[in-house]
Amino acid sequence: MSTLANATAILRLFAPNRLEVSVTDASRILGMPKSSASRLMKAMMEEGLLSRMENSPRYKVGNLLFEISRLYRLNSSLIEVSDQALKAIGQDTGHTGYISILDGSDVLVIRAHQGSHPLRVFTPLGQRAPAFATAIGRALLARLSDERVRELYPEGITPPSANAPQTMDELLSALADVRRNGWAQAVDEAIVGVGTIAVSVSDSEAGETIGFCLSFPASTISEAEKQRITSLLVSSARRIASGFNDKFFAHLIHAVGDAETAAA
Q: Are residues 36 and 137 in the same domain?
A: no
Give the span between the Cα atoms of 171 and 129, in whole angstroms.
16
- Asked if residue 32 belongs to a domain, the reply is yes
- Looking at 23, 40, 62, which one is the last position of a domain? 62
Q: Is residue 71 part of a domain?
A: no
Assessment of whether the complete model's pTM goes beyond 0.75: no
Number of Cβ within 10 Å of residue 69's Cβ equals: 14
Residue span of the structural domain in which 18 resides:
3-62
Number of domains in the chain: 2
CB atoms within 10 A of CB 198: 28
Same domain, 183 and 227: yes
- Residue 257 covered by a domain: yes
Confidence at 169, pLDDT banded by 50, 70, 90: very high
pLDDT of residue 259: 44
Co-location of 115 and 234 in the same domain: yes
Distance CA 165, CA 259 (A): 25
Quick one: 56 and 82 in the same domain? no
Residues 164 and 45 occupy one common structural domain? no
Q: Which pLDDT value is given to residue 35?
A: 94
Q: Which residue has the higher pLDDT, 259 or 218?
A: 218
Supply the CATH number for residue 131's domain. Answer: 3.30.450.40
Length reported for the chain:
264
Same-domain pairing of 230 and 103? yes
Q: Is 11 exposed, middle or buried (0-12, 13-18, 19+ CB in 10 A)?
A: middle
Q: What is the 3-state secondary structure (H, E, C) of 211-246?
A: EEEEEEEHHHCCHHHHHHHHHHHHHHHHHHHHHCCC
Question: Would the pLDDT of 128 be above 90?
Answer: no
pLDDT tens readout for residues 8-61: 999 989 887 788 999 999 999 999 999 999 999 999 999 999 998 777 889 998
Say which CATH number the domain at 9 has. Answer: 1.10.10.10
58 and 184 within one domain: no
What are the tens digits of pLDDT across the range 216-252?
988 888 999 999 999 999 999 999 998 898 999 887 6
Q: Residue 1's pLDDT is what?
A: 67
Q: What integer best gives the mean pLDDT of the chain? A: 86
Judgement on whether residues 11 and 139 belong to the same structural domain of the protein? no
- 23 within domain boundaries: yes
Whether residue 4 has pLDDT greater than 80: yes
Same domain as 148, residue 31: no
Residues 124 and 212 in one domain: yes
Q: Is residue 70 part of a domain?
A: no
